[in-house]
Structure 1
Amino acid sequence: MKPEKLSVQELFSRERRFIIPLFQRAYVWNQEEQWEPLWEDISRRAHAHLQRLGLPAEGKVRTHFLGAVVLNVANVMGRGISRSDVIDGQQRLTTLQLFLAALRDMSGELGADADDIRLFKRLTRNPDCEEGSEELFKVWPTNSDREVFSQVMSAGSPAALEARFPENTGGRPRMVQAYLFFARAIAEFIRSAEHASSAPDRFLSLVSALKESLQLIVIELEEGDDPQVIFETLNARGQPLLPSDLIRNYVFMRIGDAEGNRLYQTYWSHFDTEQVMVPGSDGESRFWHVEERQGRLVRPRIDLFIFHYLTMHTEDDIRIGHLFKEFRDWRDANSTSNEDFLKDLKTASHHFARLIAPKGNSRLEVFASRLRALDTSTVHPLLLFLASVEGQGIPVAEVDQIIVDLESYMVRRFICWQTPKNYNRFFLSLLTKVKQAYAARAKADDTALADLPTVAEVVRTELLRSQEASAFWPSDERFREGWLNNPVYVSSRADRSAMILRALGDAMTTSRNEQLDLSGPVTVEHLLPQKGAIEDYPYLEISLPQNHDEASWRKVLVNTVGNLTLLTGANNTAASNHAFPVKRAKIVEHSDLRLNAWLRTDTRDSWNETDILARGEELFHFALKIWPRPA
């Protein structure tokens, strides 16, 4: 490797293109963590030069190190401009170009002299290149960022760029935000009255900082250096890349440019470009990069997908913290061609999207939406496999039966307060048995097929087999006991009881009822309020379970299914802690849910523990239909 210390001006004054390979991740830097610190570095050096204007040469400003860039010089055919592939430092190079573009566009407006304006243009564009040509830009980002980068670099002014990307609920792309941040910062710096300096002098101080004080270490790889090894080593420390970034790099770095671009566009680009209607909590608008919580972990969807995909194929208990290494070992041992692997990965990603963001009403997607409330993802590798063979070896009806059994198993265990801590090993074992049963049936002729169990039979047998507390499938009797007596509402995870109530509401709806969309926000309401006044809800003289007094037993029952219903947030507030006749009237007036239809004809003036248990029994009949279990 050949290291070289270059100023920002020296780096970008050369007629050269810095190409970000397609395997690199998209632009991810943000204001708080990167843009503001970078601007502080630039502005401090510029202020130092401003203070030394007119002083002797010995008053030189000390230099500041902006980081390292690793390049792999590529061969260029014919008269093309020199090209270097960026192995490391792409975020830094891209951000510097966005800063320089803002500086270039603001220079004429804010009073820079002609020489400075020419310099800023030369630092952002290669000369003698036509407008619209890729070779025009010094830096050329990875595929998913190119369109936005081109528009930012050619906008001409902040106002023009804001017109191209108006502020809306989706937010502006990060490159647009970066340019506008630097444009505002530069304008404030140039217009500042500090040191009573003129605008040309303040531009000169920025030029001096770029020429002398802001430096990078540029490392060029030599023949025999392995870009893959260097890439992984450089990203092993500091702010780590996502495992999916390393995996993309690993896959595409081994494929030639032309073939790699074709495979990327055909099989991978959707991971980088597919958008969501509403951005995630961090402003992320790319579907596969929105973060999801699974257990105690928060990970981007693409990492979760590859984790479950790899688990499906290996049937091993993989640790997501070692995802890249696990993937690399698996792929090295796998003889599938790059195209076949990427094709399978893309197909599986469509199935996983149905699990992580279900939109349809298939039995798989209904289960997936309920799984989100249970916060259990260990069954996803099994579901991925079932989705991949649905209708192709296993009839759709059989897959639906498997889904019903799996959901019944998990919901019943949740209601009965059974731990999910061993689900990981249990569902891995079940996945192995399902794949073996599927493979055996796929190989068997018609005569042998009749003697083999179906995949659904294998699943049901495994779910019924264990009587241990860590794995048993609760019977109807155990299910009823938990249903009537176990609190399912917990304020910190109200979504779990809401899931149960939504399922009950769906089961109550018939072809004669209007189909209401319950996908919007609803809240869980307690018919006997958690903080209801004793004069409105007096205690009854009833036989109490052992170790309970009237208050403690009520505290248990108010959070059981028999005392819960669903309301909109506004209706919930209106009903609140009122006496039961008032509460009932407000629910009847505003709620159209089938779950609350019984209140229209109910005439009682009170609601107590006996009523809770009776309603629990009524709802339990629907629960048995939704979550059945073979005798």
Structure 2
Amino acid sequence: MLGQGGDGRLAEAVAYFQQEIDAWLAESPEPHERLGALVQTMREQLRLVIIDLEEHDDAQVVFETLNSRGTPLEHADLIKNLLFRNAEHAGADAERLYKAYWSPFDQDEWRTEQTTGRITRSRLDVFLTYWLTMRTRREFTASALFKEFEHWLNSAATPMEEVFAELARYAEIYDRIDQHPLHGVEGRFLYRMKVMQTCTPMPLLLFLYGLDDAVLPTERRHHAIRAIDSYLVRRAILNLSSRDYNNVFRDLVTAASRQPACADEEIIKALSAMQGHHRQWPTDAEFRAALEQDPLYTRLYRHRVRILLEALEDELRTDHTEQLTVPVGEHLGAKLTIEHVMPQSRHDNWPPLDDDPYEGAARDELVHTLGNLTLVTAILNPALGNMAWDDKRQWLSEHSLLRLTHGTLLNPPPATEISGWASTWNEHRIHTRGAYLASLALSIWPSADELLATSALSGLDNR
């Protein structure tokens, strides 16, 4: 207040009002009169309420009660108030606890709004919901966060210092997960989670990343993430419901906590045992059938098709491949669009086969299957349009750098014995390429049996 500077929210508020007042005065031709009016208003019209507390009054309770009569506080503010009230009752140094653990939560990065499902909340409220779900493994609505936290705090009987320290520790873990580089097993999985707007696995991820490497080695954590990724992607490609995912991932936290040292195997076994349309892990046969036969482009959200094609491109790359513009990440993904090799409107340049009694009617769904799709830049896509195959092949050859295009479209997929592959593009080639890409997808997102076998072969089962 003396203009000597300082750190923290209060100093920021003083600086803000100084700037606003300076700008407001500069707008007036008579700044002294305007300043006089402001001073008079502050002196005579501003009302301050002063509450004198008796020895046994609780300032935190008074704060909570007063605010309950006006604009509702965020759950994080109520939780903060509850924690510091309990800390003061326990005789702890509240100022030290604030500086050591809570102060980052009062920064803007934790107060920005996020949308999960249809609800918009602060990032801190979202994090606290994930953390409390991991801790309690109970189902509760977003509106019940504070009451659930209060119930847990009263029943857990955890020393307040430990509660503050644990929240700060898991907040750092949440930050690392949220900002993980988009490469490797973890990065690709987290990217796909964001694209599919799937946040229900987060309590399980907090649990896995919260385990020390001495308890759960990195290889095992990666193994668990591959299982979760396979479960989510397989269900997404089959267009299965996500309505029960909250219960699924709470159950997985419970399963992983039974034997943290082999949490990956516990997760795989729990997932493979799930039954019913809303929970089951699709089999290899079901996954392959959807990849080879379903008109994915029309049946699925575009972002699901795109992450499938991106993952296939990434899998086709090797250590010998130039690392130019690998199709991962939201920014690059926005530049790559889905291209139908045999166009959706194809009648002029793509006549049906001579021996086709149905005159190409089967193509109406076939053109939307995986075997006929690739990725191109947003600029190239409209240029290709409904081109005949010879022209389209030349354009793709000149402008595309993707292995998905060069390795399975312009050239035959490995072990494909079709002479003159590039001379034409027809139903037979679409089926052949689709079968190859489906096999590749099964290796990216393996079944439970394969993952468990991999665990045994790699020595991950050594306790």
**Match of residue 63, structure 2, among 205, 212, 231:** 231
Conserved 8 A contact 2:372-2:434:
yes
For 1:624, the equivalent position in structure 2 comes to 442
Give the letter aligned to residue 252 of structure 1: F
SS in structure 1 at match of 2:338 = strand
Deviation of 1:367 (Å): 1.8
SS in structure 2 at match of 1:312 = helix
Distance in 2, matches of 1:416 and 1:369, equals: 20
Deviation of 1:312 (Å): 0.6
1:307-456 map, 5 Å: 307-359=129-181, 361-438=183-260, 454-456=262-264
Distance in 2, matches of 1:339 and 1:566, equals: 52
Larger radius of gyration: 1
- After superposition, give the CA deviation of every residue in 1:46-97 in whole Å (9 maximum; x if it has no partner): xxxxxxxxxxxxxxxxxxxxxxxxxxxxxxxxxxxxxxxxxxxxxxxxxxxx
Conserved 8 A contact 2:342-2:425:
no
1:132-151 map, 5 Å: 132=4, 144-146=8-10, 148-149=12-13
**Match of residue 349, structure 2, among 526, 531, 536:** 536
Conserved 8 A contact 1:409-1:474:
yes
Q: 1:533 to 1:409 in 2, by over 3 A?
A: same
Conserved 8 A contact 2:182-2:191:
no
Deviation of 1:316 (Å): 0.5
Conserved 8 A contact 1:562-1:615:
yes
Q: 1:475 to 1:205 in 2, by over 3 A?
A: closer
**Correspondence 1:218 to 2:49:** yes
Distance in 1, matches of 2:35 and 2:50, equals: 30
1:76-475 map, 5 Å: 125=1, 132=4, 144-146=8-10, 148-149=12-13, 152=15, 175=16, 180-188=19-27, 190-191=28-29, 200-212=32-44, 214-223=45-54, 224-236=56-68, 238-255=70-87, 259-273=93-107, 286-359=108-181, 361-438=183-260, 454-475=262-283
Higher strand share: 1
Conserved 8 A contact 1:486-1:560:
yes
Distance in 2, matches of 1:470 and 1:326, equals: 26
Conserved 8 A contact 2:173-2:210:
yes
Distance in 2, matches of 1:410 and 1:524, equals: 23
Distance in 1, matches of 2:213 and 2:34, equals: 69
Q: 1:525 to 1:457 in 2, by over 3 A?
A: closer
- After superposition, give the CA deviation of every residue in 1:119-140 in whole Å (9 maximum; x if it has no partner): xxxxxx45xxxx6376xxxxxx
Distance in 2, matches of 1:337 and 1:217, equals: 37
Distance in 1, matches of 2:388 and 2:58, equals: 75
Distance in 1, matches of 2:111 and 2:378, equals: 30
**Correspondence 1:572 to 2:381:** yes
Conserved 8 A contact 1:494-1:524:
no
Deviation of 1:486 (Å): 2.8
Distance in 2, matches of 1:258 and 1:455, equals: 36
Deviation of 1:385 (Å): 1.0
SS in structure 2 at match of 1:620 = helix
Deviation of 1:200 (Å): 4.9
Q: Which runs of 5+ in 1 are unaligned?
A: 1-124, 135-142, 153-174, 192-197, 274-285, 442-453
- After superposition, give the CA deviation of every residue in 1:158-193 in whole Å (9 maximum; x if it has no partner): xxxxxxxxxxxxxxxxx3xx65555444433x23xx
Distance in 2, matches of 1:489 and 1:354, equals: 34
Conserved 8 A contact 1:528-1:537:
no
For 2:308, the equivalent position in structure 1 comes to 500
For 2:332, the equivalent position in structure 1 comes to 521
Deviation of 1:381 (Å): 1.2
Give the letter aligned to residue 131 of structure 2: Y
- After superposition, give the CA deviation of every residue in 1:317-372 in whole Å (9 maximum; x if it has no partner): 12121111211221122232222222222222232224333225453333222112
Conserved 8 A contact 1:563-1:612:
yes
Conserved 8 A contact 2:241-2:278:
yes
Distance in 1, matches of 2:232 and 2:96, equals: 43
The alignment-based identity, stated in percent, is 32
- After superposition, give the CA deviation of every residue in 1:17-61 in whole Å (9 maximum; x if it has no partner): xxxxxxxxxxxxxxxxxxxxxxxxxxxxxxxxxxxxxxxxxxxxx
Distance in 1, matches of 2:372 and 2:114, equals: 31
Distance in 2, matches of 1:383 and 1:619, equals: 29
Q: 1:486 to 1:263 in 2, by over 3 A?
A: farther
Distance in 1, matches of 2:252 and 2:172, equals: 23
Conserved 8 A contact 1:527-1:565:
yes
TM-score by length of 2: 0.81
Q: 1:327 to 1:614 in 2, by over 3 A?
A: same
Q: 1:221 to 1:509 in 2, by over 3 A?
A: farther
Distance in 1, matches of 2:365 and 2:212, equals: 43
- After superposition, give the CA deviation of every residue in 1:444-495 in whole Å (9 maximum; x if it has no partner): xxxxxxxxxx433332222222342222221111111111233444699432
Q: Which runs of 5+ in 2 are unaligned?
A: 413-420, 451-463
Conserved 8 A contact 1:293-1:299:
yes
TM-score by length of 1: 0.61
Distance in 2, matches of 1:202 and 1:626, equals: 68
- After superposition, give the CA deviation of every residue in 1:493-521 in whole Å (9 maximum; x if it has no partner): 43222221221111111111122343332
Deviation of 1:206 (Å): 4.1
SS in structure 2 at match of 1:425 = helix
Give the letter aligned to residue 587 of structure 1: L
Distance in 1, matches of 2:288 and 2:300, equals: 24
Q: 1:221 to 1:320 in 2, by over 3 A?
A: farther
